[in-house]
């Protein structure tokens, strides 16, 4: 038996002419021109890939050589071949060809790109359709859990000083600013209107101006709903689906994980630049001296230089941009000074006594021992 055929080698799109021979329970595939043997297929390993139909040829494959495809155009030859094959050829799973592997890989890449790029963007954009009351409900719950987990610093004299600062820059904002007893040198904005300052940040802050800049920066995150976007992104589609049922209380993640994921919003360059600019505009408007504003980032920069990776200050620092951020604040401070001219009169923030009270909000008792 000799059957004329074509074959695909799995590497090229081109079909090669071939001859099939049947010997001792095997199908031998030879190149038609030179007679070179290309494949030896046991009949029981052969699979029908495609039956011939209305102009399409029949196709055969082999489990052990999934790259190679046999193409049979003559219906008579096809029937001769099929008569040789055992029943298993009609049932086995179709093998994966080289070209289908490429196709699967491309499809997989497209799906991954969709899931990693398009879905987070879609989820972020969907925040515009979520009422802000949902932000507040979620943020309040997380902050409440955080207070329970870490403990609040609630010294009245200190909190009065803090309220004075917040009122100075945000008299019309319904902000909920609290301080937690944790050594992290940072501050975080939450969905809704909550801002949490960590004890470590207040302890190390060098001036009320620096603290006001960080506060105003967090206000920027609040205004642009960065925390809600980050939260919705971290919770994923399941969260959006739960929202459609009105259920916002079921949050899968622990509070510290959520805080961690919200911290990532500080690592978004666009969000940072937008919040920095918001802070600068607000402080300029309130006539707060910007010369001392960048000291938080200057400390962060020193930490980066010492530890390479800024664990302590990482959330606000995002090292490659720290220098640029400092430069931008200093440039704005220079412009502010020029605008002031000889007046040199900036807004009064806190008295020395009030600043001292605020600085010791979490550490007063510990320091006195």
Contacting range for Zn ion; rule: CB under 5 A; set: 27-35, 132-140, 258-266, 302-310: 258-266
Contacting range for Zn ion; rule: CB under 5 A; set: 120-128, 171-179, 245-253, 265-273: 265-273
Contacting range for Zn ion; rule: CB under 5 A; set: 71-79, 154-162, 259-267, 286-294: 259-267
What's the closest the beta carbon of residue 133 comes to Zn ion, in angstroms?
24
Beta carbons of 169 and 293 less than 8 angstroms apart: no
Question: What are the residues whose beta carbons fall under 8 Å from the beta carbon of 347, sequence distance 6 or more?
Answer: 168, 286, 287, 288, 289
Answer yes or no whether residue 226 interacts with Zn ion by CB under 5 A.
no
Beta carbon nearer to Zn ion, 229 or 266: 266
Residues 203, 204, 206, 207: is their CA dihedral positive or negative? Answer: negative
Q: Which residue has its beta carbon closest to Zn ion? A: 266
The Cα–Cα gap between 70 and 51 comes to 12
Beta carbon nearer to Zn ion, 65 or 274: 274
Beta carbon nearer to Zn ion, 61 or 139: 139
Alpha helices in the chain (DSSP H): 75-84, 98-113, 119-126, 132-150, 156-169, 199-204, 208-223, 226-235, 237-244, 255-263, 269-285, 295-307, 314-317, 319-340, 352-359, 364-368
Q: Which of positions 266-285 make contact with Zn ion (CB under 5 A)?
A: 266
What's the closest the beta carbon of residue 275 comes to Zn ion, in angstroms?
5
The Cα–Cα gap between 49 and 74 comes to 16
Q: Which of positions 17-36 make contact with Zn ion (CB under 5 A)?
A: none
Beta carbon nearer to Zn ion, 36 or 269: 269
What's the closest the beta carbon of residue 9 comes to Zn ion, in angstroms?
57
What's the closest the beta carbon of residue 278 comes to Zn ion, in angstroms?
10
What's the closest the beta carbon of residue 221 comes to Zn ion, in angstroms?
6
What's the closest the beta carbon of residue 265 comes to Zn ion, in angstroms?
6
Beta carbon nearer to Zn ion, 126 or 267: 267
Contacting range for Zn ion; rule: CB under 5 A; set: 84-92, 247-255, 263-271, 360-368: 263-271
Beta carbon nearer to Zn ion, 158 or 186: 186
Beta carbon nearer to Zn ion, 47 or 303: 303
List residues bridging with 187 in a β-sheet.
Answer: 197
Closest C-alpha to 193, from 177, 204, 213: 177
The Cα–Cα gap between 94 and 47 comes to 7
The Cα–Cα gap between 353 and 203 comes to 15
Instruction: Return the SS3 of 79.
Output: helix
Total interface residues for Zn ion by CB under 5 A = 1
Beta carbon nearer to Zn ion, 7 or 213: 213
For residue 278, what are the CA distances in angstroms to 244, 268, 271, 314? 32, 15, 10, 21
List residues bridging with 188 in a β-sheet.
Answer: 196
Q: What residues make contact with Zn ion under the rule CB under 5 A?
A: 266
């Amino acid at each position: 038996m000799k059957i004329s055929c074509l074959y695909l080698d799995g590497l090229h799109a081109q079909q090669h002419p071939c001859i099939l021979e049947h010997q001792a329970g095997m199908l031998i595939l030879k190149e038609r021109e030179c007679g070179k043997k290309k494949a030896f297929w046991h009949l029981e390993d052969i699979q029908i890939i495609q039956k011939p139909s209305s102009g399409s040829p029949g196709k055969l494959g082999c489990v052990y050589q999934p790259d190679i495809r046999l193409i049979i155009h003559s219906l008579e030859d096809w029937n001769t071949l099929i008569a040789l094959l055992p029943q298993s050829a009609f049932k086995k799973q179709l093998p994966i060809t080289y070209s289908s592997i490429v196709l699967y890989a491309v499809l997989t890449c497209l799906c991954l790109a969709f899931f990693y790029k398009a879905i987070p963007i879609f989820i972020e954009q969907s925040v515009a359709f979520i009422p802000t009351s949902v932000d507040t409900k979620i943020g309040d719950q997380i902050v409440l859990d955080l207070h329970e987990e870490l403990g609040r610093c609630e010294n009245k004299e200190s909190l009065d000083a803090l309220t004075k600062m917040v009122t100075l820059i945000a008299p019309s904002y319904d902000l909920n600013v609290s301080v937690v007893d944790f050594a992290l040198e940072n501050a975080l904005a939450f969905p809704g209107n909550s801002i949490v300052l960590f004890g470590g940040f207040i302890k190390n802050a060098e001036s009320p101006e620096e603290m006001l800049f960080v506060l105003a920066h967090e206000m920027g995150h609040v205004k642009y709903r960065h925390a809600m976007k980050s939260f919705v992104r971290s919770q994923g589609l399941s969260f959006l689906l739960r929202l459609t049922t009105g259920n916002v209380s079921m949050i899968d993640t622990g509070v510290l994980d959520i805080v961690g994921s919200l911290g990532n919003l500080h690592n978004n360059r666009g969000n940072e630049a937008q919040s920095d600019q918001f802070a600068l505009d607000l402080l300029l408007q309130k006539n707060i001296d910007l010369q001392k504003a960048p000291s938080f980032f200057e400390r962060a920069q020193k930490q980066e230089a010492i530890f390479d990776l800024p664990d302590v200050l990482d959330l606000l620092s995002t090292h490659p941009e720290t220098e640029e951020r400092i430069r931008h604040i200093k440039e704005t401070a220079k412009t502010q000074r020029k605008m002031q001219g000889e007046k040199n009169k900036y807004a009064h923030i806190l008295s020395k006594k009030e600043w001292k009270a605020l600085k010791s909000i979490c550490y007063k008792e510990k320091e006195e021992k």
